[in-house]
Amino acid sequence: MLQPNVTITPAAEKFIRRMLRFSEHPGGGFRLTVSAGGCSGYNSEFTVEPAPHEGDSEVLVNGVKVYLPAGSRLMLDGVTVDFADTPTQSGLTFFNPNAAACACSSSGESAAAPAQATVSVASITRKHALGAGH
């Protein structure tokens, strides 16, 4: 199975490790699903899974398992996955240096920054409620 040429920054790796450590599957992997959408070029979801789903590719990042479905492998080829935690955003970001600029701007400028997308940490919900007193 062809492995994507995806770069995961140290900040993104730290975030992924934390998600795994505090999940109910700390020995599992981080499953990242990416699809096309919006001006940024990416919509994405992630979960912590005990094992890859059928058809997923397992990418090891310094010993951390990242599970990528087939469509995500194609979309992430050549992309850098980072993590931003600033006053205005917190979550995974995707930088694709080969992406075409968004054409929805009315500024008329021909040069635009490469596509970038963000997944907010605030959109993550836990499946199991914590016990009383927590």
DSSP string, 102-115: PS--SS--S--PPE
Q: Which fold has domain 7-122?
A: Hypothetical Protein Aq_1857; Chain: A; (2.60.300)
Q: Find the mean pLDDT for residues 24-38.
A: 88
Phi-psi region of 78 (alpha: psi -120 to 50; beta: other; left: phi over 0): left
User: What's the whole-number mean pLDDT along residues 100-128?
Assistant: 49
Query: Which residue would you say has higher pLDDT here, 41 or 80?
Result: 80
* Ranges 9-23, 75-89, 99-113, most confident: 9-23
Q: What is the mean pLDDT of the chain?
A: 77
Q: Check pLDDT > 90 for residue 53.
A: yes
On the question of pLDDT at 22 being above 70, the answer is: yes
Pairwise pLDDT comparison (98 vs 102), residue with the higher score: 98
Please report, for the chain, the start and end positions of each structural domain, with discontinuous segments joined by +: 7-122
Predicted confidence band of residue 100 (pLDDT cuts 50, 70, 90): low
Q: Going by C-beta distance under 8 Å and a sequence separation of 6 or more, which residues neighbour residue 113?
A: 101
**Residue of 118, 98, 89, 84 whose CA lies nearest to 6:** 98
The residue written with tokens 């994405």 in the block is 44
